[in-house]
Structure 1
Amino acid sequence: MSQNLVYLYPEEQQEEEQGARPVEPASRLVSVTRVLQATMSEESRAALRRWELAMVKKHGEDGFAEIKQAMLETGREWHAALHAHLTGEGEVRQLTPTADGFWRSVRPVLALVDSARVAASERDVTHSPLGYHGVVDCVAPFR
């Protein structure tokens, strides 16, 4: 097992099936989100903290928690619609107004993605040697 100051990472384990995810538990790997949080500049961290405090002051702790939950749900909804569009796996269903705004904002760009050759969409990825995991939004040719 390799080690850093915070996490213990198992050695790379390969599965027989080509393209399969490594078998080590993702709970032992740091997420891309955590890497981004840890490497955020102090200026950005302070700006985020000011925004959070302002939102709590305006909406209260419970109100801000509801707002954050709604943001997460909108993200899941938008990503599901993007995946359905890129892979042809189902129709893009009626979206909430917020998710629909995001959808309309990317429609011109989606026209430039070769959907017939999407290699990955909303797929778990793991980089065991560097010790992180995450979800890739899309890997496809772009015109």
Structure 2
Amino acid sequence: MLLDGLVFALLGSALAIGLAGIGSAVGVGIAGQVGAGVMTEDPGKFGQVLLLQALPGTQGIYGLLAGFWVLIKLGLFGGTPVPVTVAQGMQIMFACLPIAIVGLLSGIAQGKTAAASIGLIARRPEETGKAIILPAMVETYAVLSLLATILLLNSIKL
């Protein structure tokens, strides 16, 4: 029976890592496609393009952090594994959903916003600061979802 709870908890960890990682991969890809086009015209914009392309990658980092938080909480990293009931496992799984879902969706949205910002830099390089702020606004919700996941995980008693 305790193994079933562990399965739910590990599923939550996998969802946090996997879905947020997918969002980041798609977002970075979207921004990279536009960035490559801009750099064919002006290779000197590489630094600005790289910065904007990297921004959607943070959701994957947040998902990875949440996933490892679960594994540490479960004692699976060098500690003694903690027995987990089905109810506790489901609580952990549901606690991982904020970063999993928001990481997926905000990573893609941030990639689209970063792509638009790269277009802005292509035409008006003096507006780089403003171009960075636009995708950074999307980042706010990824950070809030990571915070929610961590607070929820810390409230679960094992």
Please give the TM-score of this superposition, normalised by the length of structure 1: 0.26
Higher helix share: 2
Which of the pair is proportionally richer in strand? 1
TM-score by length of 2: 0.24
